[in-house]
Amino acid sequence: MPTHPLRRTRWVPLENLLRVLALVLALALLATGCGGSKDTPGASSKKDTPTKTDGGSTKAAEPASDPGFQAPQAGQCYRMTARQSRAAVAAGSRVRCQGAHTTVVAFVGYLPRAVSPTTPLAQLRAVGRRLCEPALRRVAGGTLADRATSLLTWTAFTPGQAQLERGARWVRCDVLARSGSALVPLPSQRPLLKQGIPEQLRVCQDAAGADISCAKPHAFRVEAVFQAVGDAYPDATTYTPTARDRCKELMGKYGGFWQPPSEAGWRAGDRFIRCLAPTAS
């Protein structure tokens, strides 16, 4: 009698089948762990790999542009030399305003395009007149005549090369007082001319006609100033009678001298005529 096909099938016990399935599952998990995944702790991820630049070398991200990078703040005081004060980039040491200082930051402004040490001088002066002259008036205080009778002036500084490379676009206006080849220490009070013109800030002149502090030995003293009218530069042969009468009115005496601004200063807008008196020896 033929054997029925089903009789040749071997039935595997259930418990053996479960062991086989468990072994297959373990092998599958082991294979997945060896391959790694971006979601698996400890596995490498493409987002952690440095990105190559077009040149083929790896490079860290450049710092963001910062228009105010290392910009000073208005009201800060510095001690610098006359030579440092004429440089395009500020130097000197920041100090307490209650101590000895020769400059004070009057204003810090930001421009659409950066100014630098290579900016043409005429352009830098134009920026200075627009931003620094109003700042000088605020920091100096006093009347128009007070400021014209003082040594106070302004200077503009640009960011240095390292600051420009970080995107700095500020310009710094400092107020200072020049006496010959030196700077005069500034008072700690603000405004600087709040209580009138201190002797160290008042304009006097040496025998050569250079502006110096009245606190130093001097040959002439500026006792008054007035503004000239008109566009023509004052000529000594024609303007002397006008200047003599106006100075007598302001000084209350004859015997003094009058002095116009330099021609360059006149072209820049300085219209102040000085009335000077010689210093008694």
Tokens of 128: 């200075």
State which amino acid sits at residue 147.
R
pLDDT in tens, the chain (281 residues): 333 333 333 444 445 444 544 444 444 444 444 444 444 334 444 444 444 444 444 455 666 799 999 999 999 999 999 999 999 999 999 999 999 999 999 999 999 999 999 999 999 989 999 999 999 999 999 999 999 999 999 999 999 999 999 999 999 999 999 999 999 999 999 999 999 999 999 999 999 999 999 999 999 999 999 999 999 999 999 999 999 999 999 999 887 899 999 999 999 889 999 999 998 75
pLDDT for the residue numbered 256: 83
Single-letter code of the amino acid located at 251? M
Q: What is the pLDDT of residue 5?
A: 39
Q: Which of 81, 106, 97, 74 is nearest to 187 (CA)?
A: 97
Please give the angle made by the CA atoms of 80, 86 and 90, to the nearest 5 degrees.
Answer: 55
Q: Interior CA angle at 151 toward 149 and 155, to 5°?
A: 130
203: left (phi over 0), alpha (psi -120 to 50) or beta: beta
Residue 21, pLDDT score: 46
Tokens read off for 173 = 């206006």
pLDDT of residue 61: 60
* Predicted local confidence at residue 60, as pLDDT: 54
Enter the DSSP assignment of 177.
Answer: E
- CA dist., res. 52 & res. 33, Å (int): 29
What whole-number distance in Å separates Cα of residue 223 and Cα of residue 204?
9
Q: Are 230 and 178 in contact (CB under 8 A)?
A: no
What is the domain partition of the chain in residue ranges? 68-192, 219-281
Determine the pLDDT at residue 213.
Answer: 98
pLDDT at site 62: 66
